[in-house]
Structure 1
Amino acid sequence: MATLSSLGVGAGFDTESLVTKLVSLEKAPAEKILSETTKLNTKLSTWGRVQSSFSALKDAASALNKDSFWNATTATSSDSASVSVTTSAGTPSGAYSVNVTSLATAQFISSNAYADKTAVVGDGTLTITFGTYESDGGEPPAITFAAKAAAAAIDIPIGPGDNTLEKIRDRINAANAGVTASLVTDAAGTRLVMRGPNGESNGFKVDVAEGTTPGLSALAFDASTGATSSMTNNQMAANAKATINGIEISSESNTLSNVLDGLTLQLNKVTTSSVDISVSEDKASIRTGIEAFKTAYNDLVGLIRVQTLYDADSKTAGPLQGDSTANGLLRQIRSLASTTTSASSTFNRLSAVGFDIGTDGTLSINSSKLDDAMDNLPELQKLFANDSEDVAAQGIAQRFQSLAAQIVDTDGIISSRQEGIKASIKRNDEKIERLEDRVALVEARLRKQYTALDTSMGNLTALQSYVTAQLAALTNNSSS
């Protein structure tokens, strides 16, 4: 007897479809659980967005609580091409008149021209010594060299394999001696150029001890009177010289960072007239920080409102609709925005400096009212940033920072809510796994039962065919 190839062949009806439908009914609870898990994942993701918004509000509030924020200053220059200026936190307001007599320069020396960069110069040792070239002011002036006490002379060995112009350049640069070397090619040929740091105490001389291949003395230099120099002095090292409010200043750098408290001047070129520098409170950056706080607050309020609303038109609810935790957090921050503080004797709440609370809980700023408040920055700072153990005397930004920090903490409300949702998702996954195991067993049982039915029905069909055939044969024999 032939074996059955699929369910239903023996029975004569579609038992495969019947089994599939019965198994589908067994899977129905799993679909419901999967739908619930999808909603839980959406809720978990939404809480993640809420947590990020609280973190943004905490950061914005934290910025308002820093002294450096309220002490920010800005500086302007009447001729930034000649003298530019930057400030740091705590720079006092003031006005300065700057005249630049000369800029700090570096010493440049150059060699005679060689055929090309591969030309052999010689080997031996170059010794670079930093110091100051000084004139006695006589007629003609005598130049002396005073070595820099804090800088030891540096020897640069030039071996037989390093005696070409380009390799000597590389050896000088690799020594990190404070002098940089480069090659410059003009109509006469290629020259080695050496440059030191800016400042008159960073002048330098180059002594040479010849090696086995002579010629290295062509790179010797000493500008002091009576010394022998083979290289050409193109520029002497010099200090920047300027006057600030009539006081003479000398600097090895064109960047003056330690002359005025908190102020850095960049000398760019010699001036023919005074450059006026003005330092004032940076109200623009302070206002930007206050606006950033408002935006972070509104983003958070808007997010929670949308996620907790029910849309009657679309008949859809936000992922956190009816969530008591979300609604509680929304009430907390809205209440905090309208709270009063004794931190300032002038401003006792946000509305006093131009903050208006809308019907939707978001904040807007009355620009002219805030401008008036910014004319009294010390009291405005207290309103936002006063730090006190007495909660009633704490600034508004201090309170927001504290509240947001508690909420986004690893043990905070949001983290606890997220852990609860994750636990529900895990339980659902376990339910699905158990259901899948049960459905597999049911399907196996049904297939076994219907396979047996198919076999029995197939046997009956075969028996029927046999009996029918036998009866037909008997009938035929009788007729004969």
Structure 2
Amino acid sequence: MTTVATTTGSTVDPTSAVQQAAQSIISGSTNSTMDVNSLVSAIVNAKVAGQTDALNNKKTADNTQLTAIGTLKSVLSLLQSSITNLANGTALSAFTATADGKGLTATAGSGAVAGGYSVNVQNIATSQSITSGAFKSTDTLGSGSMTINVNGKPSTIKIDSSNNTLSGIASTINSASDNPGVTATIINGTDGAHLVLRSSSTGLSNGINITVDADDSTSPLNKLAVKTTTVASSTAADPNDPTKTITTPAHTSIDSTGGWNQNTVGQDANLTVAGTAVVSSSNTIKDAITGVSMTLASDSVGTTQTLTIGQDVSGQKTTIEAFVTAYNNFVSTASSLTSFDSTQAAGSQGGALLGDSMMNSIKNTISSTISRAIGTGKDQVNLASIGIALQPDGSLKTDEDALTDALTNKSGTIASLFNSTNGVAAQLNKSLTSFLQTGGLIDTRTTALNTDLKNIADQQTQLTAYTQQLTTSYNQQFTALNTLMSSMTQQSSYLTALFGGSNSAGAMSDSKK
């Protein structure tokens, strides 16, 4: 006997429901109370349960597939991220830059080539710092304006009763919206307060110039005027060794009648790279060696170091191993989604994408790319050529020593295997893009499932409306029937009372004749 699910989760036997309906009608004729609502609910549920279960099962199956496809998309995206720099050649063009002394660091970027370079640093770049003459901290310096100029960038500040002390002027300089690159502070010494200005940028061209336009030509404000000039590079005999010379690089000097002193000169960095003179206003030097950025510190002054540019073997190894990990993650996930376990209950034995054509297409494409050789004839190379072996379960296993040796001593093999035209990573990246892109294999399937879920929702809405219609109709019919049966029972009782039986004392019975 077939059973169907009710909306409350119980099961109803359709035949039994009909029997119950008949029994209720019979009971009505014997003065029993008929539960119309329960009767109607059982009959309606029996009528729609099959369709309801079919829609719910389809909805569950669709949502299970959507979840599985979301998981698949995630691992494929991670796999694509792991091979991006292998596919476009960035990883294999990465270099490291290492100096064999102190105070010189460097990074190698795009355009760098392997090689060794002798770097001799005469001096590093410095920023100018100047200190004013002494003032009393409470002195008012008058009114007017000051214009501070650094490397052609001027800033004019107004001086009045609100800021005409030394500390007020320092604060106004620091807060100026068009500050040209100067920091101001106050140093309180035994002789009084001093205004100290420091250029924010290193280099000969970033000297500080101040012009004053005082309202009173005799006010102390005029003492803050200062002019920076440049002293050319010079060479003189070394006082400690007459056979040697000392070169003084070009630097800043100041011209002031107000008592300013120069604490630190502003000067460019001077060095030679592979015997070629290099001058830089900054201690970060980006254009002396193509693709290499060098940074100088004071420890490098007076030293000659060798800067070695070499392949970034460690970084390349990390990138390749990240690819292997991401690929193995895909293999594991794909295996789970397409698994079959006969020990599980019927309906739960297969993975969400077992036998799925989309899943099979993705697996076959990726595994084929991974196992394919690059090149022709004796020049063919594959992942095994660099110590990455394909395992029976489809995963990859890395021989660390073999990979390191390949990266260090077989750059040609690496370059061929991961070339940006048809290398393993380039081909894999192309396939993954086709799978993951809008309108691609995964997007098309996801759209179809979401469309199906919407159709199911529409059908469920229609079924709900139909269920309500049936319920209303049956309620009306059985209520009318119950009323009729009740009326018939009353009439039967009346006739019995009126005519009676053979022993009846009814008014019209034979015994009354």
TM-score by length of 2: 0.75
Asked if the contact 2:148/2:180 (under 8 Å) is kept, the reply is no
SS of residue matched to 1:397: helix
**Equivalent residues of 1:124, 1:158 under 8 A apart:** yes
RMSD: 3.5
* Change in CA separation of 1:104 and 1:293 when aligned onto 2, cut-off 3 Å: same
Counterpart amino acid of residue 184 in structure 2: S
Name the CA shift for 1:44/1:306 in 2 (closer, same or farther; >3 Å): same
The residue number in structure 2 matching 1:172 is 173
CA contact (8 A) 1:242 1:250 kept: yes
Amino acid at match of 1:66: N
Quote the offset at 1:159 in angstroms.
4.6
Structure 2 residue 441 is the aligned partner of structure 1 residue 408: no
Work out whether 1:109 is the aligned partner of 2:130. yes
Deviates more, 1:458-467 or 1:363-372: 458-467
Q: Give the conservation status (yes or no) of the 8 Å contact 2:136–2:193.
A: yes
Q: CA deviation at 1:308?
A: 1.1
Aligned length, in residue pairs: 441
- What does residue 224 of structure 2 align with? 219
Q: Give 1:304's match in structure 2, choosing from 334, 342, 345.
A: 334
Structure 2 CA distance for aligned equivalents of residues 409 and 303 of structure 1:
20
The residue number in structure 2 matching 1:125 is 145
Determine if the alignment matches structure 1 residue 339 to structure 2 residue 377: no
Task: Confirm or deny: 8 A CA contact 2:374 2:416 kept in the other structure.
Answer: no
Select which of 253, 260, 278 maps to 2:289.
Answer: 260
Deviates more, 1:203-212 or 1:216-225: 216-225
Say which SS state the counterpart of residue 37 (structure 1) adopts: helix
Structure showing greater relative contact order (alpha-carbon pairs closer than 8 Å, 6 or more residues apart):
1
2:104 paired with 1:83 = yes
**Structure 1 residue 246: Cα displacement:** 5.3
Structure 1 residues 167 and 11, CA, compared in 2 at 3 Å: closer, same or farther? farther
The amino acid that maps onto 2:323 is F
Further displaced range: 330-339 or 452-461: 452-461
Question: What's the CA shift for 1:458?
Answer: 5.5
In the TM superposition, residue 245 of structure 1 has moved relative to its aligned partner by 4.8
**Range moving further from structure 2, 120-129 or 201-210:** 120-129
Q: How far is 1:467 from its partner?
A: 9.3
Q: Does 1:193 align with 2:196?
A: yes
How much has 1:442 moved relative to structure 2?
0.9
* Equivalent residue letter for 1:36: K
Q: Following TM superposition, by how much is the alpha carbon of 1:436 offset from its aligned partner in structure 2, in angstroms?
A: 0.6
Unaligned stretches of 5+ residues in structure 1: 1-7, 131-147, 388-393, 476-480
Note if contact 1:181-1:194 (Cα within 8 Å) is conserved in structure 2: yes
Deviations 1:223-273 (A, max 9, x none): 668741244432221223344455554332111222222222211223465
Query: Within the alignment, does 1:432 sit opposite 2:474 as a pair?
Result: no
SS at 1:310 equivalent: coil
How far residue 170 of structure 1 moved from its aligned partner, in angstroms, is: 4.3
What does residue 376 of structure 1 align with? 410
Are 1:14 and 2:19 matched, yes or no?
A: no
Map of 1:423 onto structure 2: 451
Instruction: Give 1:182's match in structure 2, choosing from 175, 181, 184.
Output: 184
Return the offset for 1:432: 0.8
Q: Which residue is equivalent to 2:70? A: 48
- Residue 110 of structure 1 contacts residue 191 of structure 1 at CA under 8 Å; is this kept in 2? yes
CA contact (8 A) 1:343 1:382 kept: no
Structure-2 change in CA distance of 1:430 and 1:291 (3 Å): same
Match of 1:74 among 80, 87, 96: 96
Residue 53 of structure 1 deviates from its aligned partner by 2.7
1:106 positional shift: 1.4
Rounded to whole Å, the distance in 2 between the matches of 1:359 and 1:225 is 78
**Structure 2 unaligned spans of 5+:** 1-26, 229-252, 508-513
Distance 1:159 1:175, change over 3 A: farther
Larger Rg: 2
AA partner of residue 182 (structure 1): A
Q: Which AA in structure 2 matches 1:233?
A: Q
The verdict on how the C-alpha distance between 1:11 and 1:110 changes in structure 2, with shifts beyond 3 A counting, is farther
CA shift for structure 1 position 63: 1.8
Match of 1:290 in 2: 320
Alpha-carbon distance in structure 1 between the residues aligned to 2:312 and 2:116: 15
Give the alignment partner of residue 87 of structure 2, picking from 48, 65, 76. Answer: 65
Aligned to 1:176, what secondary structure does the other structure show?
Answer: coil
Deviation by residue 1:361-393 (Cα, 9 ceiling, x = unmatched): 112223333334322213321222252xxxxxx
* Residues 59, 401 of structure 1: 8 Å contact kept: no
The alignment partner of 1:317 has SS state of: coil
When structure 1 is superposed on structure 2, of 85-94 and 218-227 the one drifting more is 218-227
**In the aligned structure 2, how far is the partner of 1:105 from the partner of 1:348?**
53
Equivalent position SS for 2:319 = helix
- Residue 419 of structure 2 is aligned with which of 351, 370, 385? 385
In the TM superposition, what are the counterparts of 1:13-32 in structure 2 within 5 Å?
A: 13-28=34-49, 29-32=51-54
Residue identity opposite 1:60 in structure 2: S
Q: Which amino acid aligns with 2:61?
A: K
Q: Per the alignment, do residues 248 and 17 of structure 1 end up closer, same or farther by CA in structure 2, a change over 3 Å counting? A: same
Structure 1 pair 122–456 and aligned structure 2 pair: CA distance change class (3 A): farther
Counterpart-to-counterpart distance in 1, 2:385 and 2:95: 25
Classify 1:14/1:264 alpha carbon distance in 2 versus 1 (closer, same or farther; 3 Å): same
Structure 2 CA distance, aligned partners of 1:103 and 1:372? 40
> In 2 relative to 1, CA 97–340 (structure 1 residues): closer, same or farther, beyond 3 Å?
closer
Equivalent-residue separation in structure 1 for 2:377 and 2:142 (angstroms): 78
Greater Cα shift, 249-258 or 465-474: 465-474
Contact 1:344–1:379 under 8 Å retained in 2: no
Match of 1:207 in 2: 211
Identity %: 28
Matched position secondary structure for 1:198: coil
How much has 1:318 moved relative to structure 2? 0.9
Note the alpha carbon deviations across 1:305-354, whole angstroms, 9 max, x for none. Answer: 21111112224211111212212321222122222332696343223332
TM-score (normalizing by structure 1): 0.80
Matched residue type, 1:124: G
Q: Deviations over 1:64-120 (max 9, x none)?
A: 13233212111223345x22221112322223444444332212223456666x864
SS of 2:299's equivalent in the other structure is coil
- Between 36-45 and 178-187, report the one with greater CA deviation: 178-187
1:39 paired to 2:61 = yes
AA partner of residue 287 (structure 1): K
User: Are the counterparts in 1 of residues 381 and 413 from structure 2 also a CA contact under 8 Å?
Assistant: no
Distance in 1 (CA, whole Å) between partners of 2:214 and 2:489 is 117
The 8 Å contact of residues 255 and 264 in structure 1, kept in 2 or not, is answered as yes
